Chain A
Amino acid sequence: MNEFSRALLYLNDPFNWTRPSGITDLALEHLAISAVAVLAAAVLALPVGVALGTARRGAGLVVVLSNVSRAVPTLALLTLFAVSPIGFGNRATTIALAVFAVPPILTNTFVGFRGVDPEVREAARGMGMSRGQVLGRVELPLALPLVATGIRTAAVQVVATAGLAALVGGGGLGRLINLGFGQQDYGVMIAGAILVAGLALLTEAVLAMLSWALTPGPRRLPFLQVSAPKGGSSVPEPTASGVPL
């Protein structure tokens, strides 16, 4: 494929990486937008998920939210924020991406904290732990695998969809795809596609390893095995697998 060898040629030129608004700049912009969006979504979704999960309420709300977010095209939200008074640019992109990062974090946090065995919680209370201690030392470690999954799903989704912002005047690596397409220079476009896909896969791999390393190991497997068959009828499907991006 001629286009693919041209893409490799483009990627192999150091100048394309180091020049102003070259690949390095675009990748850093891409990652900065994504990081801010995921952080904002986590700040918003984690407390709500913990509160709803420990209270075991609001399952319907969480399911509806994650279903509706699946139906709304990312492109539509990116465009709507871009033409709103926020104005197009990285701020609108970040807000739109943060909105899409909320449902996976919220759903997984909710499911994780709701899945904590009430008897375990009661035992912790009986041992004289305060409510805060129960939350931090008992519920959080048990819910951590799912919370980590939620954040990872959200992060990968945000990194992947940040490329779409280029279609409506945003920054990031998607710009290479849009630019190459607009100039009929398919080499640049393929190079951009490889970079965007690579960044998304890298995010997935790094975060998967990170959560694997941080999760208290021996506790994780038995807990998941016990809770898996219990998760019957009304349990909202954790968006661990999420939606295509």
Chain B
Amino acid sequence: MTSLGARPLLDAVSDPPVGRLAVDEAPNPWFDPSYVTDNWDSILAYTGEHVRLTVLAVVIGAVLALPLALLARRSRYLSAPVLGLSTVVYTIPSLAMFALLVPFTGLSSNTVLIGLVAYSLVILVRNFLAGLQGVPADVREAARGMGLSPAQALWRVDLPLALPAFMAGLRIATVSTVALTTVGVLVGHGGLGQLITGGFAANFYRAEIVTGAVGCVLLALLADVLLAGVERALTPWARAVGS
């Protein structure tokens, strides 16, 4: 605080007298390993919240999206409203979505979770539907002709054939949910986004901001790689064809 009192004198000495802030003169590195080690516990806690919100949002979204996609495949009259509604939900900005949910769910992490589920649901319904519609009609007919019940046909024919589209949808939904979770800072549950706005609030502390941002990107990449591995493990036939 005493240094703040001396500020006008310093300003008078330095060349550009306008707009000099204490921030500009203090060392403010873009990355600081000691910040990461000193705050490892809170970084880990925020990462945990980030992962929990992302996983829950994608899993709940997928559980809701599959029956919706199956329903929408049945007729054009069902798929048109599903796709139209999903476009509208898509277009609503996440900040507005979370703000609109606050009166209902307050400042809990449920606010963020519900918003994230809505977005992942929209992505997944579209990709699930695209995957299911990509199953050739004659293959489905052959399955029925072989005496498979609708449930068997779904499990043994439709799902394996639609799996690449499903996994593509899951990967897109996961990666964008990781990025979107940061907007949860509005209600204080933004996972690693808390570091981004926290650093901004703490006198533009760059090391904290960069740690949060890099953490988000790493988390998204890790999730994508994991899901790519799952896709590879689930579709051994694709590898056999490829080689």
Please list the residues of chain A having a beta carbon within 8 angstroms of any beta carbon in chain B: 1-4, 67, 70-77, 79-80, 82-83, 156, 160-161, 163-164, 167-169, 174, 177-178, 180-181, 186, 189-190, 192-194, 196-197, 200-201, 204, 237, 241-245
Give A243's nearest chain B residue, CB to CB. Answer: B176
A164 and B183 contacting across the interface, CB-CB below 8 Å: yes
Once A71-B221, A190-B100, A192-B99 are accepted as A-B contacts, the answer to whether A244 and B200 lie under 8 Å apart by CB is no
Say yes or no for B47: interface residue by CB 8 A criterion. no
Interface segment, B9-17, B36-44, B151-159, B205-213?
Answer: B205-213
Binding site secondary structure of chain B: helix
B94 and A76 contacting across the interface, CB-CB below 8 Å: no
Binding site secondary structure of chain A: helix
Say yes or no for B119: interface residue by CB 8 A criterion. yes
The A/B interface has a contact count, at CB < 8 Å, of: 150
A201 and B88 contacting across the interface, CB-CB below 8 Å: yes
A76 and B182 contacting across the interface, CB-CB below 8 Å: yes
The residue in A167, A178, A189 that gathers the most chain B C-beta atoms within 10 A of its C-beta is A167
| CB neighbours of A245 from chain B (8 A) | 90-94
Per the 8 Å Cβ criterion, residues 175-196 of B in contact with A are 175-176, 178-180, 182-183, 185-186, 190, 193, 196
| CB neighbours of A181 from chain B (8 A) | 99, 102, 186
Give B119's nearest chain A residue, CB to CB. Answer: A244
Q: Can you list 10 pairs linking A and B with CB atoms under 8 Å apart? A: A70-B220, A72-B217, A163-B95, A167-B186, A193-B97, A196-B96, A237-B168, A241-B123, A244-B119, A245-B90
A201 and B180 contacting across the interface, CB-CB below 8 Å: no
A177 and B197 contacting across the interface, CB-CB below 8 Å: no
